[in-house]
Structure 1
Amino acid sequence: MAGIAASSVAGATVLNGTIANFDGDKDGVADDLNIARITFTVSAGTQVFFDSLVRESTGVDLNGDRHITGFDSYMMLFDAAGRTLTINDDAPGATADGSVHHFDAAIRWTFAQAGTYMVTIGQGTYFAHEALRGFEANRPYDAFIGNENFGAWRLTMTASGGTLSNVALDGVSVSEVPEPASLLLLGAGLAGVAAARRKRATRA
């Protein structure tokens, strides 16, 4: 059972999504570009590394969705009152999620106070009020890589020095995705449980 317990607290939370045009302002035209909003709760002193992957510039399907896409990402971090804490447009160098281009934005932030916060992912630059409502009006999606009418993104949230919980994408709760080592530990724990049940069944 130790493997199951460890897997619930170890690892990063990984979210996958897309940005594409839709009718956000309800004018009957799908010409508004959505901005992904991810809410989460942290304890005081938690540092979180927000690592985006949006630009598959080498032609390799880095996020495993069978599409080669790419755009210039922009991230904003907000507190519970909707105040902007920081922004990032370009992140230099390759990062932990396999990013190969500086257009894959990244933020590293230490939260002095416990509470609920929000990070957003969109294309290019956008304003805080657009991030908070979840779209840019009359802003068509612009593919930098590929010819799809959407851009796929992946966000890896890695916490240290505290706890990260209650992660939700646009209001939908997201489960934690353990790291490979945690998955192995979980598998060993489940195998042990299965073996114990089989042993009990043969004794009966």
Structure 2
Amino acid sequence: MLALIIDPDAAMRTPVPPAEPPPAPPPAPPPPPVPVPTPEEPWHRAASAAVVGAGGLLPGMAVGVDVRVSIDPPSIPPIALRANLWREDEQRNGAQGARFRLLTGGLTTCPSVWRLELCGGVALGRLGAEGFGFDRSQQTAAFVAYLTVEPQLRVSLRAGLALTVSIGTWIPLVRPRFFFDQDGQAVEVYQPGPAAVVGHAGLTLRF
């Protein structure tokens, strides 16, 4: 025998809504961007050759050559090593006098403003002299040193190649006096001046 039980209030009851599903978890934050390293600015190098002229380094108008090699780090002004070979010059007093030979080398740095490079540095060298017209052959030499101030204009000709022109001052730190002996008497032949005007024109190759 089967018994069926009917609830007369079942139709009157409010149906229970189904339970809402739990909220979805928030999306994960995006991964941080991968830092991209800033490429380092490369070092540059340059080589230059120029014709130089000067008044005040030797007895007359001095002419020579100027050769430089330089490095240009990213964060400091370019630094150059230089060498100068000057043509022989002479100082004469009648039949007596002396021939002078100057060789210099130095260090220069050139901070730039637009196309103008404000070059300054030091130069060291050897000033040799050989007397003539005296009663015996005599030779002597002296150490020389200069502070150099040489504003330089750079004009680009094409990629990596530029024309450079400068005029400046070399200030001697020592001014040796050159004497030669004549019949037991010291005869002064030459002493460099208190400042020299130096100019040059040449080409610079940057790589």
TM-score by structure 1 length? 0.24
Q: Kindly indicate which of the two structures has a greater share of residues assigned to helix.
A: 1
Larger Rg: 2
Q: For CA contacts below 8 A with separation 6 or more, give which structure has more relative contact order.
A: 1
